[in-house]
Amino acid sequence: MTRKDTFILSAQNLHKQFKLTSPAKKGAALIALDDVSLDLATGESLGIAGESGCGKTTLGKILAGLMKPDYGSVDFQGTPLSSLSPDDYRRFRCTTQMIFQDPFSSLNPRMRIADIIAEPLVISGMTSSNLRTSVAQLMETVGLSPELAQRFPDEFSGGQRQRIGIARALAASPHILIADEPVSSLDISIQAQIINLLQEMKTGFNLSLVIISHNLAVLRHMCDRVIIMYLGIIVEQGPASDIFRQCLHPYTEALIAAIPKIAADNRPAAVILTGDLPSPLAIPSGCRFHPRCRYAEDLCRNEVPELKEIVDNHSSACHFATRIFSPVTD
């Protein structure tokens, strides 16, 4: 069991909702996060997975300090962000960097690459005489030629732009990188390059990683632990090896079964989900997953299942987790 004093980042009971302003739905509230808690250990790679609209990007932005929760708290090295002084909060923002899903829209199209990467260095007070050398070193670190430093973002491919985003994040000398769908917009061969680069950066810079993705194959390859989200809540969490060996929630079962098969893959046939993800404006009663669950019973429709530990460090929010999945304990 991970000791509390080894957590670099923790979140407790996070709630976040967004008020809608359109005339047809004015006053309605979209629930993005509903009582979400998690811990990130120093040096850990934590994956957060789920369908679009489950709240994982909102969670990432709150962890990075880009958005504040309505309720709940985020602690950095045991200190709540809400209690930090303005100077300490700015230091936290440098310490925790985010890599965004779209590598083009996250880069200023009017700035040259050298200036984009140099921004965190300028903010930290680095003298101009050292900037060029530092930018060149960062570009080489992420696999870009320093000769390209005076070009603009639209002169690069998607994979190159993502490398630029990673270089900019590393310029702040962070302890934590939060990557929101870092490879979803890239070709499959480029995805592998960016995944390998992130793993190299984690080791080389002694980073803790949070990887947000709907692609469980990516998380299986990269992460020590995985959190599965559904409609603003955590429905399963545990070591990646345990989850992929024996998941404990029907939603996770369907996500894993839907991973494209390759030769010699002996996984069972895909468990096809029926129906679309329910609207966060009309969350189902009881278990939120019950309208799409092939195992649902009356209990599921009426009572909310508690997220509880089933085996060591492996938790599930399913009334029948042990009955359905017979968790592996060896």
- Reported as a pLDDT band with limits 50, 70 and 90, residue 264 is very low
Q: Is pLDDT at 269 greater than 60 in this prediction?
A: no
User: Mean pLDDT over residues 122-137, rounded?
Assistant: 83
Q: Is pLDDT at 103 greater than 70 in this prediction?
A: yes
Could you tell me the CA-to-CA distances from 209 to 4, 54, 81, 224, 246 in Å, in that order? 18, 20, 19, 10, 24
Q: For the chain, which residues make up each domain, given as ranges?
A: 4-223, 246-330
CA separation for the pair 285, 300 (Å, rounded)? 9
CA separation for the pair 322, 56 (Å, rounded)? 26
Average pLDDT, the chain: 89
Among the listed residues 144, 188, 189, 190, the one whose alpha carbon sits nearest the alpha carbon of residue 166: 144
Predicted local distance difference test score (pLDDT) of residue 10: 97
Here the contacts of 238-247 (C-beta below 8 Å, separation 24 or greater) are 238/313, 238/314, 238/315, 239/313, 239/314, 240/47, 242/311, 242/313, 242/314, 242/328, 243/314, 244/216, 244/220, 245/328, 246/325, 246/326, 246/327, 246/328, 247/325
- Reported as a pLDDT band with limits 50, 70 and 90, residue 106 is confident
User: Mean pLDDT over residues 172-195, rounded?
Assistant: 89
- Reported as a pLDDT band with limits 50, 70 and 90, residue 250 is very high
Please check whether residue 286 is in contact with residue 304, taking contact to mean a CB–CB distance below 8 angstroms. Answer: yes
Kindly list the strands in the beta sheet with 208-213, ordered across the sheet, starting from the edge strand earlier in the chain: 96-99, 176-180, 208-213, 45-49, 225-230, 233-239, 314-316, 308-311
- Reported as a pLDDT band with limits 50, 70 and 90, residue 2 is very low
CA separation for the pair 165, 101 (Å, rounded)? 10
Encoded tokens for 228:
């599965």
Cα 269 to its chain centre, rounded Å, is: 28
Predicted local distance difference test score (pLDDT) of residue 278: 84
At 218, phi and psi to the nearest 5? -65, -45
Helix (H, G, I), strand (E, B) or coil at 165: helix
- Reported as a pLDDT band with limits 50, 70 and 90, residue 265 is low
Query: Which of 63-72, 117-126, 190-199 comes out lowest in average pLDDT?
Result: 117-126
Superfamily of domain 4-223: P-loop containing nucleotide triphosphate hydrolases (3.40.50.300)
- Reported as a pLDDT band with limits 50, 70 and 90, residue 22 is confident
Encoded tokens for 170:
């590393």
- Reported as a pLDDT band with limits 50, 70 and 90, residue 5 is low
State the pTM of this model.
0.90
Predicted local distance difference test score (pLDDT) of residue 190: 87
Predicted local distance difference test score (pLDDT) of residue 282: 86
